[in-house]
Structure 1
Amino acid sequence: MSTFVPREVQAGLDAARKQAGRKRNRLRVEVDGKRHPVLRIWDDGFAVEAEVVPGLRGLVDLYDGAVHLKRCLIVAAAEDAGEMQYEFKRMTEVSDQQPLDFAREEDAPVALLAVDTGA
């Protein structure tokens, strides 16, 4: 049995794979107020479509739909099969709370209640 696939058939399969990835993937990368779809993501990087997304570099934000996931400093790594791959130099999780510069005690009071002296 031959495993040879004609070039046209391979191109069609690649296009179908990219189209399916775009439909089910909600991941987006935002740069300068513009959002671009992410084809796939792994521990230390992600890939976008090379023809659609302009060259990225520097600080970007990673979203899953409308949820802001991470703020990343990226560098271009490689271009392969129509994908531009980027690696994370630094990745910071996004939080909805302000960071603390001190250790919070487990039994610390949440609020201060005034004592009514009746005066």
Structure 2
Amino acid sequence: MHLPDELYKRMLQLLHDIKVEIDQYRQDDVHVLRAYLYEALMLLNRAYQNLISMEEGNKEAGGTHISKFIELVGADMREHHSVRYYADKLCITPNYLNEIVNSAMGMSAKQYNCI
């Protein structure tokens, strides 16, 4: 999953704050760490739910192709790195795959494959 820049920066800051709290840990600070962890998990869950809803809303624009693309990359990324390979597996053109991945995830299919 690719996080938007603003959310990515917020997550980095949150993780930094968690590290600071851990480094200064005191017995009474358990609730602070729990709150930070809860915030991080909720932000990631919200981003994931937005991604899923975007895919469901874009079924006509290739949402099912995106789901299958993500699945294929997860299974084959060590052996196959070309967008053409995944497009061929999905019976679509590499340009169309790149276009739908970019519109749904904010990155090219090649970038997603390299993550």
TM-score for both structures, normalised by structure 1: 0.29
Q: Which has the higher contact order (CA 8 A, sep 6+)?
A: 2
User: More helix by proportion, 1 or 2?
Assistant: 2
> Which protein has the bigger strand share?
1
